[in-house]
Structures are given as C-alpha cells and as structure tokens.
A and B are shown apart, each in its own frame.
Chain A
Amino acid sequence: MKASLTLNKVSNFLGLGLFRTLKDLFANKLEKEDFKNFLRKTIVPLASILLFLGLWNIGAKALYNTEADFKIEKALQNQGQAAADALQVCIASGESSCQPNTLPSPSQVWGSFQSLLRDHNIINADKAAFAEKTAALNKTRIAEGKNAIVYTGRPSFVDQIFRSLKTVFAGFLLALFITVFAGFLLALFIAVPLGIFIGLSPTLKSAFNWFIQIFKPVSPVVWYLLVFMIVKTVLIGSADDSSFTISFISVGLCSMWATLVNTAMGVSTVDKDYINVAKVLKLGAFQKIFKVVLPSSLPLIFTGLKITLSVAWMVLIAIELLAQSPGLGLFVWEEFQNGANDSNAKIIVAMFVIGIIGFLLDRLMLMIQNWVSFDKTDAI
C-alpha cells in the first residue's frame, strides 16, 4: 500500500499519468470508462513515438541512399568504372571506412548510445586501474609536499553529462543569488512604510530598468566573451581550470533575466489589500516581507525560475562549446569536428540526452513550486 502510494506520488510529480494507468491495468482495477483514458494516455503516446521513429528511419534511409548514389557517381566521374564498382561493393558490405556521411537511423543512434556506455565503463575501469597504480606513488608525493598525480585521460560521455549539470546548476545558483539579492532589496523597499512604497519603488525601477532592458537580449556568445575578458584577468596565474568558471558565470548571466524581471514584477504588484492588512496589523518590515510580500509573489517568482532553468540548460551547450569546458556542448562540437563514422549518431544521442534532462529539470522545478507555493492551481 505504502509503496503504491509513493509510486502514485512520484508519477504524479513527474506528470506521467501513464505509470498509474499501467499499474491499474496490471492490478485489474481498470474500469471500462477508464479504458478510454488508458488509450489516450498510453497507446496514443506510444503510437506517436513509433510513428516518429518510423518517419525518422525512412528519412534517414532516403538521405543515405542519395548520399551513397552521389558518392558513387562522383567516383565514376573522377576515378572510372572500377573505382565506382569497388565503392559500391564497399558501401553495401557496411565497411565503416566508406559509409556516406548523413543522418543516422534510429538503430545506429541506439548502437552509439550503447557504445558510449561501454566506453564509459572502459574509462571507469581505466581510471580505477590508474588510481591503483598511482596510489603508492601519490602517497609518497603528498608526503613530500608535491601535488598528487591525477588522471588526465579524456572524460567519458557520462562524465560530460554530469559536468554539464554541474555547470548549469552553478550558473542557476548564480542567477538565483543575484535575483534573490535584487528581489529582497525591492521587497524591503516595499515593506517599509507607505511613502517609500509609492516614492522609492518607481525610483528603483527607473534606476534599473534600462539595465535590464539593454542586457536582457544580449546573446550568450557575447556574454561568454565578456566573462572571458574579466575572468581570465582575475584568475591570472592561477592553476585552476578557468573554463568551468567562465562557463557557469556566462550561463548565469544569460539566464537570470527571466527570474529578475518576474521577481521584480511579483514583488511590486502585491495586492494592495494585503499591504493594507499588513499595515493595520502593524507588522514589522521583515514580517511583512516573509509573511506577505514574498508569499504573494512566489507564483510569479517560480514562473521566472522555471524559465531561467530552461534557458540555462539551452545556452549551456553554446557556452561549453565556446569555453572548451568539457560537457555536453563540447562533446557535440568535438564529435562534429571528429567526423568518425558514428559521430553523427553520437550527436543525436547527445541531442536526446539534452532534451530528456531539460524535461526532467522542468519537472523538478514544478515539484519544488508545488511544494512551496500556496496557489497550487497556478502551477502548470
């Protein structure tokens, strides 16, 4: 009973009614009227996924054939009949050296996904072996006051996912801190007496509005360059990896605007009635902020936070690519430059991973919002 309750909760939080319906189906609890619901929630999405994969497969095959024909035609023109025949045999045999470079099919992508996981296991084993090999040496080195030898091999795909998540969360936290600070300042001004509420808040707005309006539309690439100019000087002479610092600050700067604007709006549009109540009850400034101003602006703040998180995840790829910070963005770029026969499939694997993680992050924010916010109907 308890386990099923948790399952219900989890699937509700994830917005996946599908799990529950499936569970009911197996428990034989499904009523006849529920069958329509079941059809809509499970069969229809599954069918659309299959349709998508089918179309993808057909499209990939068509592109493959066009590319292959073009290759053979070109070989015929440049090198003669013998070379063209050889190429045709080579392509048909599935030899990796002569495959046309085009959109991979779903099965190729799935194969790449598995090979990436295998690769992760190999690298992990390699790391463990390395740590074992250097354990004794590192001990003596640390005893002598030297730096320990660390593993410097390439990161696996899974490592890069986690690195990306780290960057995004660091950027998100930065955006959060800036906004919380700005939002709190604004809330403070509103919570303090009437004269300031009317007088100072518009003043504050006109002081910062130009700033927000001008910097909001600036592209991630430009933010990266700006942060690069500053951080490179600040971290001069330090042995630390500056690419991570640069990328998380850039991500933060790109994504904070949504939260900033929403917080400012939420805080400055608190219902006048609530402010009046706070005044009649003679609440202190901090009571007023935490009991009245912030709770009433939470729904808007969370809308902003959700946008910020998804923007952060979106710009991350571009920023990592530019900053050469190991992560999903760099992975995609390197695979593109690499041009190995399974590179394209790997890029598509990365695409799906990015999409799925983005979806999960959004669900996570929704969960937190439902948890802290009073207005549950607003959380869509």
Chain B
Amino acid sequence: MAYLELNNICKTYGQGDNESQVLSNINLTIEEGEFVAIVGFTGSGKTTLVNLINGLLEPTSGEVLFKGNPVSGTSHERGVIFQNYSLLPWLTVEQNVLMAVKEAFPKREKAIWKRKAAYYIEMVNLTPATNKLPKELSGGMRQRVAVARALAMKPDMIIMDEPLGALDALTRGNLQDQILNIWGKDKRTALLITNDVDEGIYMADRIIPLRPGPNATLGPEFKIDLERPRDKTELNDNASFKKTRNAIIEYLMDIGDERKSEAKEQFILPDLAPKDFVNQFR
C-alpha cells in the first residue's frame, strides 16, 4: 500500500463566475522512505498542492490518503517546512523549536522537552544561536530553525515547500546536504517542492513536473537512478544526470511554449502615433 496517495485531486478557489480551478486531476503515490520532488513554475499551484497534503486545505474533489486513511486537518505525522520560514518572531530559536517538541512529546515527558529541543537545534548546527530571536539570524539560519522545528515534531513524512528558494547558492548547497544527511539517517518519506531542476535531481529519487495552472496537473515522472550519496561536482559529468536533466528541462520548456501558444487572445494596438515632438515647438 502506498504511503501517501492522491486520487483525482481537484482544487478550485472562489465560486460562480470567480471560480478558478487551480489543480485538476492530480494523481500521485509516494512509497515509504521515498524522496520525491515536484518541479514547477512559480504560480503553478505548488503551494496549494502542499497545503492539500499537509491538511491546511481540503480538496474540492478527490481524496488524499495518508497511510491509507483520508487526511482531515493537520497532523504531527506530516511535518512542514514553509517557503518563508514562518518562525514566530517574538520567540527565540529554542522557544520556536520547543513549540513543536511539546506537540510531539506528551506532557508527562515534560522533563525531556528542553533536551529534545537542544538535540534538534544541534542537528542543524545552531546551538550557539539557541537564545537568539529570528530577526537576529541570517536567512539560512532561519531556514535551519524551520527545519529543526519540522523535525522536532517527529514526523513520519516531511513536506518541504520550496524550502531553499530564498537563499543564496552557497547556503542552498550546504542546506541541501544537511537535509539529505538528516533524511539519510532514518529514511523518512520526503516530498520536496521546488523550482530548481538541479536541486530536484540532486536530492530526489523521483521527479514529477507540475504542469502550470490554472488546471495544473502532474506530468510524467522521471526516475533518478543515481547512487547515494551523490556528489555534486561528479554529477556534472555524469551522463545519466545530464540526460535526465535535459529531458526534464525540455519537457518544462515545451510546456512553457504550449502555454504561450494557448494565449490566443490578441490585443490590437490603438492606431496612435506620437506627436512630432520637434515640430511642436517651432
């Protein structure tokens, strides 16, 4: 049985004339321990898809099954790393992580709360910043706090919504490795949403392009058969990497062209010419 299963998911926003269908006919299965990446253009409905899976939104039609049970509402079994960190700015790093720890560990284990929080903060190498407020941290550090918070809930599956989108290339590379490291330790199921094809290929077992919305659907999947741990520099010379990468990019480009040609509406320019600027003052 699949770990996570999306069956014919459709999601529309608004009603009547304002109705717009964001996602249509999404079918997806993820097996336990798998690392799946979904690649798509900005505005193609990626965040909506994530919110459907983590339970913040409900599908208009279709069903989301997690471990065979329909998803209703959020659960600590599915940890989320948000695109914009979403740390609470009035709480320190430790307090932010503690909020998640408290959810994962019941009240009777109060004594170990602090230790657990410290453990997850250590895991993302932020121990020196334990008592700092989010605004005192750099972007990369904030995202690491968000990672620690998501992990502190002890989720069975971890959902990442463009987690590294706002970071510079160097920090990005470091964090990719850190996330892979943590994922490699206990092989949690992971879903990564990204707009960076390279990132997807480097991290995931499978890549699925999301055709841009409205009416976004999932495209054909691409298997990545590269051995782990992967080495970034070697990857660049790997023939299979190059092939997959080109195939995915080609596919996405084709979608882009398709979408452009779909815009059939032509705008006729008004028949106006600028006044003769020089003659005007003569």
Contacts and interface: CB of A to CB of B under 8 A. Distances in A.
Contacts of B99: 281, 283, 291
Interface string A68-94: 000000000000000000000000000
A274 B86 contact: yes
Contacts of A274: 86, 88
A50 interface: no
A268 to B, nearest CB: 18
B103 to A, nearest CB: 5
Given A273-B82, A291-B99, A280 B56 contact: yes
Contacts of A222: none
B39 interface: no
B245 interface: no
B236 interface: no
A276 B54 CA distance: 10
A280 B90 contact: no
Contacts of A375: 89-90
A292 B54 CA distance: 20
A277 B75 contact: no
Interface in B35-85: 51, 54, 56, 73-76, 79-80, 82, 84
A374 B89 contact: yes
B103 A276 contact: no
A158 to B, nearest CB: 41
B54 A280 contact: yes
A296 interface: yes
A23 interface: no
A276 B88 contact: no
Nearest to A295: B90
A154 interface: no
B56 A279 contact: yes
Nearest to B155: A280
Contacts of B74: 279-280, 282
A277 B56 contact: no
Contact of A281 (B73, B89, B90, B100): B100
Contact of B86 (A194, A276, A291): A276
Interface of B is mostly: loop
B153 interface: yes
Nearest to B75: A282
Contacts of B80: 280
B153 A281 contact: yes
Given A274-B88, A277-B88, A296-B90, A282 B82 contact: no
Contacts of B54: 280
Nearest to B100: A281
Interface in A356-380: 374-375
A288 B82 CA distance: 18
Nearest to A271: B86
Contacts of A280: 54, 56, 74, 79-80
A374 B56 contact: no
Interface centre among B73, B90, B100, by most chain A C-beta atoms within 10 angstroms, is B90
Interface string A275-303: 01101111100000001100110000000
A273 B91 CA distance: 15
Interface in B202-258: none
A277 B103 CA distance: 12
A296 B74 CA distance: 22
Contacts of A194: 56
B86 A273 contact: yes
Contact of A292 (B73, B75, B84, B88): B88
B3 to A, nearest CB: 19
B89 A273 contact: no
A243 B73 CA distance: 55
Nearest to B78: A280
Interface in A325-380: 374-375
Contact of B103 (A282, A292, A295, A296): A282
Contacts of A283: 99, 103
Contacts of A277: 82, 86, 88
Contacts of A276: 51, 56, 82, 86
A283 B84 CA distance: 20
B82 A291 contact: no
Contacts of A374: 89-90, 133
A123 to B, nearest CB: 49
Nearest to B85: A273
Interface in B122-150: 133
Contacts of B133: 374
B246 to A, nearest CB: 36
Of residues A281, A291, A292, which shows the largest number of chain B Cβ atoms within 10 Å of its Cβ?
A: A281
Interface string A43-87: 000000000000000000000000000000000000000000000
28 contacts: A194-B56, A273-B82, A274-B86, A276-B56, A277-B88, A279-B56, A279-B73, A280-B54, A280-B80, A281-B99, A281-B100, A281-B103, A281-B153, A282-B74, A282-B75, A282-B76, A282-B103, A283-B99, A283-B103, A291-B91, A291-B99, A292-B88, A295-B88, A295-B90, A296-B88, A296-B90, A374-B133, A375-B89
Given A273-B84, A277-B82, A281-B103, 8 more contacts: A279-B73, A281-B76, A281-B153, A282-B74, A291-B88, A295-B88, A296-B88, A374-B90
Closest 10 CB pairs of A and B: A374-B90, A273-B86, A295-B90, A277-B86, A280-B74, A279-B74, A280-B80, A281-B103, A282-B103, A281-B99
